[in-house]
Structure 1
């Protein structure tokens, strides 16, 4: 099967936005044996979008478009495709009901332009977008399968995973099963080097590494007559991958390291508290984004200044004076004291320099992450220079989760520090 990806957006042509959607779509299609022959990028012009779709209809078996499904005046992909295929636009009553309920739940005004998102070419199957507001579409027209996806990368990625994969599985011969192995502490390019020989020699099951901010995963996909056979084909490959990377593999089929760490806390009925300085509450956000986190995450203190560290957490002023606020000693006491203050099983302390300036002794990107349990305190020293503030903060949080998941699974955490 030959496929063409049509990415819609003037920002892509101007270079102001990187076209990650096309890469994600290509990787997904390749897992199902669908060959991407063409990548086309078109600006926000309905005539040119319609022309690109008409051209693709004449040479591809599958067309996937990304972008141009939203509520603004330049979101014209559906209009252009309907015009190219000679289909009228009709309001999806089911999506209209969902959209009204969504806006009511959020307490937002449903302005008229939002209804543009639910005007779909007649005959399509609406693909619910639980990560945004603009639904995707799927239709078959003149023996060509056409899928429309939203442009925002996260929405596109989630729609690929939860809406497009089931479609691809149905139209593929046989049954396709995929599982992921999740990793922290190794990059996609390094992982690809270790797996390259396997990737080149294996066709079914197949291996495909993917990057996710601060972590990565390997998708293992098998195709067989039944799901049961495909599952059996996958098992030894997953075992081989996990054996090859050892402790760097933290889980399977996990959406994030934070999710997996919370899962371990739940399984062991343990609780967590955190004291955040340079991360400014990001760790708390990452874990409370997960439903049910309150059963195991008791709370956190954002102690951004030295004065607040002393007043809220009881960090001795002399400790800060002697070692500096950005030090393994202060991180350790932060973790110990927040654990004691909130009565949790584990405490995390994070202090560092996210930039743009250092403190005279430590460069930007210097971070100390501490984990305290009843009998031990561990500190990890990080050098995250050359990255922007958000990434420094994110990597710091992920290292904290990694230390905790290692502790919960009896793996080496870090050298014990006695402040």
Structure 2
């Protein structure tokens, strides 16, 4: 069974809002075993919208439209979809009652144009809105096809889809999709893809698809079957094969688990603590850690030591080191990592120093040069990186590299 997502709104095309609805709907449909082959954004134009809907009805089993259900003249999704399905609009008594009740509770006068929100296609299932005024609806079109109309605001669309649309789709679909997301750090997408070329080319069910993330590569292993248990049985051998090939480079197979989640969990399980000294990243590494619930149990303290004086004062970096090899150097990163661990009384110390650019470059030190030191119970390793991109990307990538170095150091520590 195939579905098509159509997001309606000129404001999306103009970039005034970020279209998060499409990402949510795609993810949910995939989990329900529905293949999404087309995704369209169309402005508030009647002719273009009707063309998109008619085209969708020819090639997909389910159309899901978001937006354009409001009371204003440019909210035309319902009217155009009803026309494209060859139906007429009729008044829904329950929708009208709820509309009047909503305005009464809000102590506001209901204007005439709000009444259009009580009109629905003659052959549809009405999805009453518990979080707004515009009801959604599932139009029962010809040849068994369904056209689902949802309000645009995410706080209305998400609960309506989850509570009311998903049960309908489950009854229509005979298959489900199940995925493992195998997350790998510190490897590029092309290198990972080369390692699994045979799996990508030969597998049809399950499939293996790589996705590049900042500092990571995610491999989505997806299988389709009549039940989730059967789909899992297809996915598991591929996931196990990926572990055989990549080993400790895989940091999780959980969809919602991040690299910092894993690092904090490793520290917590072994009752280790961590402290960081940041120069060019200026607190970004620490911010990633404190995004994790429970980080307070493992994070002792951190220092932003941007100036050389701060590196000497708080971390014990030697003045001679700064005068000879400079702040952006292997020796400085090492002394920062060891100094912050000593100062904070932590098992793990992290030192990050670099030249994010622009400005401050020399023939020997180009923008993007970063040194990262990680010290675990006195054993210190320093890596040198020449990173690409603008100032922000260099800093973000440096944080990813630092998290990866900490994870690898902890894996070696606890083996």
TM-score, L = length of structure 2? 0.73
Q: Does 1:82 align with 2:83?
A: no
Change (3 A) 1:354 1:64: farther
2:314 corresponds in structure 1 to: 312
Change (3 A) 1:302 1:83: farther
Deviation of residue 25 (structure 1)? Answer: 6.7
1:383 corresponds in structure 2 to: 386
Structure 1: distance between partners of 2:206 and 2:3? 22
2:5 corresponds in structure 1 to: 5
1:324 corresponds in structure 2 to: 326
1:200 corresponds in structure 2 to: 201
| SS across alignment from 1:238 | helix
Q: Structure 2 stretches of 5 or more lacking a match?
A: 83-88, 107-113, 121-125
Deviation of residue 316 (structure 1)? Answer: 2.0
Change (3 A) 1:412 1:370: farther
Q: Structure 1 stretches of 5 or more lacking a match?
A: 101-115, 129-133, 414-419
| SS across alignment from 2:196 | helix
| SS across alignment from 1:407 | helix
The alignment yields a C-alpha RMSD, in angstroms, of 4.5
Deviation of residue 296 (structure 1)? Answer: 1.2
Structure 2: distance between partners of 1:91 and 1:302? 59
Deviation of residue 398 (structure 1)? Answer: 1.0
| SS across alignment from 2:407 | helix
1:242 corresponds in structure 2 to: 243
Deviations 1:100-132 (A, max 9, x none): 9xxxxxxxxxxxxxxx9xx9998337799xxxx
Q: Given that residues 53 and 81 in structure 1 are in contact (C-alpha distance below 8 angstroms), is that contact kept between their aligned partners in structure 2?
A: no
Structure 2: distance between partners of 1:195 and 1:171? 35
Deviation of residue 334 (structure 1)? Answer: 0.8
Q: Does 1:285 align with 2:287?
A: yes
How many residues are paired up?
A: 375
Change (3 A) 1:375 1:168: farther
Structure 2: distance between partners of 1:170 and 1:222? 20
Deviations 1:64-97 (A, max 9, x none): 457889x9x99x7xx433343458888999xx9x
Deviation of residue 404 (structure 1)? Answer: 1.2
| SS across alignment from 1:362 | coil
> How do 1:4-403 and structure 2 match up within 5 A?
4-8=4-8, 10=10, 34-43=34-43, 45=44, 47=46, 50-51=49-50, 54-55=53-54, 58-59=57-58, 60-65=60-65, 79-84=75-80, 85=82, 86=89, 123-124=126-127, 140-142=138-140, 143-146=145-148, 172-253=173-254, 254-360=256-362, 361-385=364-388, 387-403=389-405
